[in-house]
Structure 1
Amino acid sequence: MPVTLNHIIVHAADPAATAAFYVDILNLPPARQLGHFTVLQVGETSLDMLQTDQAIAASHFAFLVSEAEFTDVMMRIEKRGLRYWADPFHTLAGAINHWDDGRGVYFDDPNGHILEVLTRPYGSGGPDAAHPNPLLPVAGV
């Protein structure tokens, strides 16, 4: 059996509210309760929300979506009035990126976790893309 990622524990101040945020923004199936976890299924992997009263260290979660799903996510982000950025460092506010000739956006969940929605995997456009991923080496360097 190949190795797959089964679940990730996501610390949240309010797991139910955090799960509802993800369900709404990403159009996911409703969360289910499993003991002390609020579980969101994202493909074959689940995000298991766990309540904490401690300071939450931000994590980064990237979701690969279709072009149509990206448009829908952006509509929900804008409808909520959420701040978003074209980069993970939050320097290009109110913009999306076109890396790998797709579209990508970053925004925060209610706990400060950085969420990314993208339509093309990193590097999939290669160095010849009109908008190559900035992580790719620059030709001739």
Structure 2
Amino acid sequence: MSVTAVRLDHVAVLAKDRQLSAEFLAAVLGLRVGAPFGPFLPVDLGNGVTLDFYEQRDEPVQGQHYAFLVPEEEFDAMLARLDALGVTYFADPHHGEPGRFNRLFGGRGAYFTDPDGHNMEIMTRSYVRPDKP
């Protein structure tokens, strides 16, 4: 197998309530929650990758960072869905600029917290690979 054939398939996302967390993220991103697969509840990102929400009830969930490259034409709708859910979004990862988004690398981006304290990011332009839309 060549290195170019390696790609991410799924990521387990720890949650206190997998249904609540999966439905929250799916609502924000405009996606659907899939059927349970064993202890996992998947949200298909549409690029061959799923986020598999897994309940961790016996100890606190340690917040992680998840960044989503989203279409420019969907960004405003995602911010509107965050507003409708009563979730504050921020222009920066440290959540110091509430109700604002950034314009980094020729795109737009925003950060918000999910029900388990994960720092979620939506962005329309990748800063890792700025040549990719």
Task: Specify if TM > 0.5.
Answer: yes
Matched residues, percent identical? Answer: 36
The two structures have a TM-score, normalised by structure 2, of 0.89
The answer to whether 1:82 aligns with 2:98 is: no
In 1, the alpha carbon distance for the partners of 2:125 and 2:65 equals: 17
Aligned counterpart in structure 1 of residue 49 of structure 2, from 45, 49, 57: 45
Q: Quick one: higher RCO (CA 8 Å, sep 6+), 1 or 2?
A: 2
Q: Is the 8 A contact 1:20 1:31 kept in 2?
A: no
Q: Is the 8 A contact 1:32 1:40 kept in 2?
A: no
* CA deviation string 1:30-54 (max 9, x = no partner): 3220011111111211111110111
Unpaired stretches in structure 1, ≥5 consecutive residues: 126-141
* CA deviation string 1:9-49 (max 9, x = no partner): 11000001111111111011232200111111112111111
- Find runs of 4+ consecutive structure 1 residues off by over 2 angstroms: none
Secondary structure of 1:18's aligned partner: helix
Aligned residue pairs, count: 125
Q: Is the 8 A contact 1:86 1:104 kept in 2?
A: yes
Which of 1 and 2 has greater Rg?
1
The two structures have a TM-score, normalised by structure 1, of 0.84
Secondary structure of 2:96's aligned partner: coil
Deviates more, 1:41-50 or 1:107-116: 41-50
Secondary structure of 2:27's aligned partner: helix
